Structure 1
Amino acid sequence: MAEEKKESTRFTTPVFRMSFPNLYVARKSGDDPDAKPKFGLSAIWTPANFTPREKDLWLKIMKELDAISRKDFGSPWKELPDNVRRGVRDGSAKSGLEGYGKGTRFANLTTQSRPGVITLAKEDIGPEHGNAELIYPGCYCRATVNVYSFGLKKGSKGKGVALGLFNVQKIKDGDRLDNRTAAKDDFDEELDSAWLDQEDSDFDNSDDTDGDDFE
């Protein structure tokens, strides 16, 4: 009888600020031609702002990271060597990017299967629902994840522990991290009424100006 595969423990994360969302189209990362396309996001936490319940959620994830680090790499999570990726990193490592920096922690959450994405009211979010714009860099979300190790086979190009992504729930809006604005906010300037009142022929074949007056 084949040995039953043990399911990994699923955790709910504390609320994080989303960066680099890639939840609807799987993409390859890096230059490895053998890498499989993945969905994912970067989650940015500020532990100092955690509620008591979020502290408990965070502690459970960190304990699992430590347990897997000890089991698969023979070392506590905090003492993993530099050539072993830790999954959760200090935000100071990306202090040049908006949203990261001192006092933050971040992790890249990835999956080969498209994650479910819902609102606080548990309504689906996605391009097929006409509301994919609800997800953007800077919004606040939480996710369900698991902890796993990788690169244990000989010849692997990298090894470490990581957080796998299952599903995402948007909690609230936040300032965008990519400095983009919504189209509806870009066009408050009043439109010249001539463009609405004139016929197309009124703007054709004009020879009384060639633009020289607008240097």
Structure 2
Amino acid sequence: MANERKTKVITGTVRLSYANIWEPKSIKGGAAKYSVSLLIPKSDKATLAKIQTAIDAAIEDGIGKFGGKKPSKAALKLPLRDGDAERPEDEVYKDCYFVNANSTTPPQIVDQQVQPILDQNEVYSGCYARVAVTFYAFNSNGNKGIACGLGNIQKVRDGEPLSGRTNAADDFDALESDDFLD
């Protein structure tokens, strides 16, 4: 793991989507994993540059998995994807790139002071965070590419929840004590 530092990225502020970070979930019958989609603003050039550098380092590290030859990026499945191109109907992905990160081990989830967050309602799809991710090569069943491993998460601030779930206070008015008898 001499190159781990070259393949590891601490993002700038990103938005969490599809945040399965508290309990691992199985996708299509596969092994249960912790996972999250990181929405990276296209304006965050620093994070995007770090990710590109880490992907390049992961390709170099993965030459052994690719049969001893360095493949072109065009021949590989790459983790950094364009939200405008792949999810044009989803307003949340507008003007963002995204990376899907996962891990079989739970991430440590901390606040701005690096104190553990234990309340699962505090970190959710829609909030903003900094995330540690590591890029690595894979070659499985004829699929070759670079994947993104999920590390730790630091919540930066709240955001509009993406669950579509509403708040009970927005759905209901308070009832007078005898209103429920009707």
Q: TM-score range by the shorter chain?
A: 0.7 to 0.9
What is the one-letter code of the residue matched to 1:58? Answer: L
Q: Distance in 1 between matches of 2:79 and 2:91?
A: 20
The change in CA–CA distance for 1:66 and 1:56 in structure 2 (over 3 A counts) is same
Under a length normalisation based on structure 1, what TM-score does the superposition of the two structures give? 0.71
Which residue in the other structure is 1:141 paired with?
A: 129
What is the one-letter code of the residue matched to 2:15? Answer: R
Instruction: Establish whether residue 100 from structure 1 lines up as the match of residue 93 from structure 2.
Output: yes
Which residue in the other structure is 2:149 paired with?
A: 164
Q: Distance in 2 between matches of 1:64 and 1:138?
A: 26
User: Among residues 142, 155, 161, which one is paired with 1:176 in the alignment?
Assistant: 161
Could you give the per-residue CA deviations for residues 146-174 of structure 1, whole angstroms, max 9, x where no partner exists? 110112x5xx2633102111100110111
Aligned residue-pair number: 173
User: Among residues 101, 106, 115, which one is paired with 1:109 in the alignment?
Assistant: 101
Which residue in the other structure is 1:200 paired with?
A: none
What is the one-letter code of the residue matched to 1:41? Answer: V
Q: Distance in 2 between matches of 1:57 and 1:91?
A: 16
Which residue in the other structure is 2:23 paired with?
A: 25
Which residue in the other structure is 1:37 paired with?
A: 32
In structure 1, the gaps of 5 or more residues are 197-202, 204-208, 210-215
8 Å Cα contact 1:68-1:149 kept in structure 2: yes
8 Å Cα contact 1:98-1:177 kept in structure 2: no
Identity over aligned pairs, percent = 28
Larger strand share, 1 or 2: 2
Q: Distance in 1 between matches of 2:120 and 2:169?
A: 16
In structure 2, the gaps of 5 or more residues are none
The change in CA–CA distance for 1:157 and 1:180 in structure 2 (over 3 A counts) is farther
Which residue in the other structure is 2:178 paired with?
A: 194
Q: Distance in 2 between matches of 1:98 and 1:177?
A: 11
Give 1:112 deviation, angstroms. 0.6
What is the one-letter code of the residue matched to 1:8? Answer: E
What is the one-letter code of the residue matched to 2:121? Answer: E
Q: Distance in 2 between matches of 1:170 and 1:118?
A: 6
Q: Distance in 2 between matches of 1:166 and 1:178?
A: 23
RMSD: 2.4
The change in CA–CA distance for 1:60 and 1:190 in structure 2 (over 3 A counts) is closer
Instruction: Establish whether residue 90 from structure 1 lines up as the match of residue 88 from structure 2.
Output: no
Give the secondary structure class of the aligned counterpart of 2:161. Answer: coil
